[in-house]
């Protein structure tokens, strides 16, 4: 659901995004309603999920006794999804958007400025390199990724950024049995346990989708991530 107190800013985000999208090819969703559902509502599906952190406290809703302030990384943010809708709805959290395409990061920077979002950092670079940087390795409570790669590849790219007990969330379609099976070795090797498959439904033509939620239980072995391109070319199997 769209939090009503943030709706007008989210509508503005949709408009600015569509203007940027006319100049750059950031997303296939070019109409207002299509982008609203396919980008904004889809990104915010995580707000309805029963995602838990630490002592069973909701990750993204207000915890008893105060608002949660989390460090969140969106890996392969592209034109800013799920990064920007979440930054609007989670003003107490600090969000970082990472993408290897410079022009996309520049576009997201312009959108962020236009919306005066002060809780967003942007980095243009490869996950394989940044995941080795001590400033970023094992520093995040929550890693998010939508439409970037297969689960086995993504786990290798995302796990190094997560704190122990941190969560990793992927936006996926429903038919992923084979993809999940192909990720068994990566899950074991990186100690990323699938703890939830949260299903949600968007209006047609989008339909049913799901969030895969993983928890990382020990530090990532030094050899991961491997060098640029390898997690995709030769996923852990
Ligand atoms: N998450 C966005 C964009 C998806 S497109 C959305 O859902 O709309 C996938 C993006 O991932 C591309 O912009 C690509 O540049 C980025 N990407 C792919 N592999 C990457 C890597 N290894 N490091 C950083 N960014 C990567």
Q: How high is the pLDDT of residue 54?
A: 40
Which numbered atom of ligand 1 lies nearest the CA of 127?
23
Residues 6 or more apart in contact with residue 50 via CB below 8 angstroms: 58, 196, 198
Q: Can you give the pLDDT at residue 67? A: 52
Q: Determine the pLDDT at residue 64.
A: 44
The finding on whether 35 has its CB within 6 A of some atom of ligand 1 is no
pLDDT for 1 equals: 78
Q: Is 160 helix (H, G, I), strand (E, B) or coil?
A: helix
Query: Strand ranges (DSSP E) for 37-191?
Result: 52-53, 57-58, 71-75, 94-99, 120-124, 140-146, 162-172
Residue nearest to atom 11 of ligand 1 (CA): 76
Q: Is 61 a pocket residue for ligand 1 (Cβ < 6 Å)?
A: no
Q: Is 148 in the pocket of ligand 1 (CB under 6 A)?
A: yes
Q: In 10 A of CB 29, how many CB atoms?
A: 22
Residue range 80-109, pLDDT digits in tens: 999 999 999 988 899 999 999 999 999 999
146 close to ligand 1 (CB < 6 Angstrom): yes
- pLDDT band, very low/low/confident/very high, at 26 (cuts 50, 70, 90): confident
Strand, helix or coil at 78? coil
CA distance 158 to 48: 22
Whether 179 contacts 151, CB under 8 Å: yes
Domain count within the chain: 1
Q: Distance from the CA of 112 to the center of ligand 1, in angstroms?
A: 18
- Range in 21-30, 38-47, 89-98, 224-233 with the lowest mean pLDDT: 21-30
Question: Residue 25 has what pLDDT?
Answer: 79
* Mean per-residue pLDDT over the chain, rounded: 92
> How many whole angstroms from 199 Cα to the centroid of ligand 1?
23
Please give the pLDDT value at position 112. Answer: 98
> Which tokens in the block code for residue 176?
């992923």
Task: Give the burial string for 60-87 (b: 16+ CB within 10 Å, else e).
Answer: beeeeeeebebbbbbbbbbbbbbbbbbb
Task: Give the CATH number of the domain where residue 163 resides.
Answer: 3.40.50.150
Å from CA of 56 to ligand 1 middle: 31
11 C-alpha to ligand 1 centroid (Å): 24
Please give the residue range of the domain that contains residue 228.
Answer: 4-233
Question: What confidence tens digit (pLDDT) does each residue in 107-166 have?
Answer: 999 999 999 999 999 999 999 999 999 999 999 999 999 999 999 999 999 999 999 999
Q: How many Å apart are CA 84 and CA 133, to the nearest integer?
A: 24
For residue 59 the two structure tokens come to: 């990750």
Instruction: State how beta strands 71-75 and 94-99 pair.
Output: parallel
Q: Which residues contact 129 (CB under 8 A, 6 or more apart)?
A: 228
Asked if pLDDT for residue 59 goes beyond 90, the answer is no
The CA distance from 127 to 138, in Å, is 13
| Distance of CA 65 from the midpoint of ligand 1 (Å) | 36
Query: What does the pLDDT look like over 203-225, one tens digit per residue?
Result: 989 999 999 999 999 999 999 99
What's residue 180's pLDDT?
Answer: 97
């Amino acid at each position: 659901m769209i939090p009503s107190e943030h709706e007008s800013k989210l509508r503005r985000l949709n408009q600015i995004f569509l203007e940027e999208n006319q100049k750059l090819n950031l997303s296939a969703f070019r109409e207002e309603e299509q982008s609203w559902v396919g980008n904004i509502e889809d990104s915010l599906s995580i707000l309805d999920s029963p995602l838990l952190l630490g002592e069973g406290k909701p990750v993204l809703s207000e915890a008893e006794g105060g608002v949660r302030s989390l460090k969140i990384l969106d890996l392969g943010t592209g034109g800013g999804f799920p990064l920007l809708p979440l930054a609007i709805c989670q003003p107490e959290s600090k969000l970082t958007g990472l993408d290897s395409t410079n022009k996309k990061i520049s576009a997201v920077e312009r959108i962020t400025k236009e919306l005066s979002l002060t809780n967003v950092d942007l980095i243009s670079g490869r996950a394989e390199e940044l995941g080795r940087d001590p400033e970023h390795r094992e520093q995040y409570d929550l890693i998010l990724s939508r439409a970037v790669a297969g689960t086995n590849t993504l786990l290798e790219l995302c796990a190094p950024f997560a704190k122990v007990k941190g969560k990793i969330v992927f936006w996926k379609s429903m038919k992923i049995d084979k993809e999940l099976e192909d990720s068994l070795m990566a899950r074991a090797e990186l100690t990323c346990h699938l703890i939830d498959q949260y299903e949600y439904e968007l209006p047609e033509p989008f339909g049913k989708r799901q969030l895969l939620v993983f928890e990382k239980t020990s530090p990532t072995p030094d050899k991961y991530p491997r060098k640029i391109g390898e997690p995709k070319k030769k996923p852990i199997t």
